[in-house]
Amino acid sequence: MPTFSYTALKNNKDIVKGKVDAPDARAAREAVKRMGLLPTKISDDSIADRGAQSSGAKNISVNKISSFSLKDKIEFTQTLQILTSTGIPIIETLVFLENNAESKGIRAIAHELRRNIITGGLTLAETLERHRKVFGRVYVGLVKAGEDSGELDKTLTRMLELLRKQDDIKSKVIGALVYPIFVILLACVVVTVMLVFVFPAFKDMFDNLGRELPLMTQICMSLGLFIRKFWFVPIVFITFIVLAIKHILSNDVTKRPVDAFFLKTPLLSDLLRFANYSNFLAVLQVAYEAGIPIVDCLYLANMTLDNLVLKDAIFQATAKVQQGTHLSVALRASNQIPSMMTFMIATGEQSGRLGELLHHCTTFIDQKLDAIIDKFTKLVEPAMLIFIGGIVLFLALSLYMPLFAAYG
């Protein structure tokens, strides 16, 4: 039976090393766990490359991992923060992730990070920089700041809070938009079924009435017959629309006017603004507390903005701060930041408590966003009922008006 060397944690703090006999690496990990220990490294003594026993990581090419999901980033950061805060070296932490992470993507990237650090002698931030597409510039920048300041564990704690907050905001915004999108899709299905199957079934009856059909009935009948005969045309049209929207939103030149339009749309404007502000302030606060210069904080925070109009405004404000203007003055001049935000930031600058005021400002924006989402949901529900009711009324009148006219 093979012999495995293990490194494990006792009481989540003391590092314990030893050997255990087991048929395979998985059984060895289970045997170590039964000892009341938390295994961080299991290696077969017959294999020269210690720690290469990743559970499936070597079967995944890290080049195929273009990005992490937010859930993966949270799991990766949480494990990294817990283990590094107990004094476990980065290499051992990455080996633990490589062997024990539930996500195959996390196991693969942990394997690649560990290999880069060992073979290239890189720091964690330097090897993360090689995989910026996976982690993002903000993540890499904050890790670098944590390493430079010697407070990586504290920076990881702040970043974990930031990622969880971003996940919460994403869930809230998606939750607010799911209902109207579902209703619109349901309406499309109902209309299609009515036009394709119901109206053509009444064609012979309407022809025998000997009367000219109402305009709305003619429209529905013609559309139904057209879709039945040329069913591929709507599919091509919808595909074209989807691709066109995707192209518009992926190109800054075409996306900018769309973003400007949404910022002027009464129902969506506040929702989009405060969702962007929440992420912006959260990153600004974490970066500032990590000891990053304020200009670099603004550059990192600006990367989280999805709306190009707001991104341009913050970029111009950053240029003014770089020239010596106070942060609050530069943000106020952009005419895109709520007055409460600029007032609290100005207070923080004057009192020397900018980090604390940024925290309070973030709390204020989050509360405002919750109120906006609640208001948005309450307004959308009756609007969707009116929308569905209007469609049903139109179809019903189109179907029964010729019958009413014939018996009138």
Residue 51 region by backbone torsions, left for phi larger than 0, else alpha for psi between -120 and 50, else beta: left
Ramachandran sector of residue 20 (left: φ over 0; alpha: ψ -120 to 50; beta: rest): beta
* Inside any domain, residue 159: no
In this prediction, residue 56 carries a pLDDT of 43
CA distances from 90 to 78, 95, 141, 200 (A): 13, 9, 18, 69
Tell me if residue 129 falls in helix, strand or coil: helix
Q: Does 152 reside within a domain? A: no
pLDDT tens, residue by residue, 262-320: 999 887 888 888 888 888 888 888 888 888 888 988 998 898 888 999 999 999 999 99
Do 219 and 174 fall into the same domain? yes
pLDDT at 204: 80
- Domain check: are 336 and 222 in the same one? yes
Q: In this structure, is residue 349 part of a structural domain?
A: yes
| Domain match, 240 and 122 both | no
Q: Which two tokens stand for residue 270?
A: 């506040």
Domain interval for residue 273: 169-408
Quick check: is 52 in a domain? no
Q: Are residues 278 and 306 in the same domain?
A: yes
Regarding whether 173 and 313 lie in a shared domain, the answer is yes
- Flag whether 186 is in a domain: yes
User: Is 27 within a domain?
Assistant: yes
401 and 351, same domain (yes or no): yes
Report residues of the chain scoring pLDDT below 70.
1, 9, 11-14, 40-41, 44-67, 406-408
Q: How far apart are CA 110 and CA 91, in angstroms?
A: 9
With respect to residue 339, please indicate whether it lies within any of the assigned structural domains: yes
Residue 325 burial (10 A CB sphere; 0-12, 13-18, 19+): middle
Q: Is there a single domain that holds both residue 220 and residue 291? A: yes
* Residue 279 sits in the same domain as residue 389: yes
Q: For 29-57, how does the pLDDT look when each residue is reduced to its tens digit (9 = 90+)?
A: 788 878 877 776 677 665 434 444 434 44
- Paired tokens of 288: 């500032």
Question: Are both 72 and 101 inside the same structural domain?
Answer: yes
376 and 249, same structural domain?
A: yes
The Cα–Cα gap between 103 and 95 comes to: 14
Q: Residue 44: what pLDDT?
A: 66
Backbone angles phi, psi at 40, to 5 degrees: -115, -20
Domains in the chain, number: 3
- Angstrom distances, CA of residue 341 to CA of 126, 301, 370: 34, 15, 17
What is the rounded distance in angstroms from the CA atom of residue 305 to the CA atom of residue 177? 19
Sequence-separated (6 or more) residues with CB below 8 Å from residue 106: 68, 72, 75, 76, 97
Look at residue 343 in the predicted model and tell me its pLDDT: 92
Residue 157 lies in a domain: no
Q: pLDDT value at position 152?
A: 82
Percentages of the chain per state (helix, strand, coil), in multiples of 5: 75, 5, 20
Q: Are residues 189 and 264 in the same domain?
A: yes
Query: What is the reported pLDDT for 202?
Result: 82
Report pTM: 0.68
Q: What is the pLDDT of residue 14?
A: 66
The whole-number pLDDT of residue 309 equals: 92
Are 26 and 68 in the same domain? no
CA distance 66 to 282: 25
The CATH number given to whatever domain includes residue 285 is 1.20.81.30
**What is residue 121's predicted lDDT score, i.e. its pLDDT?**
75
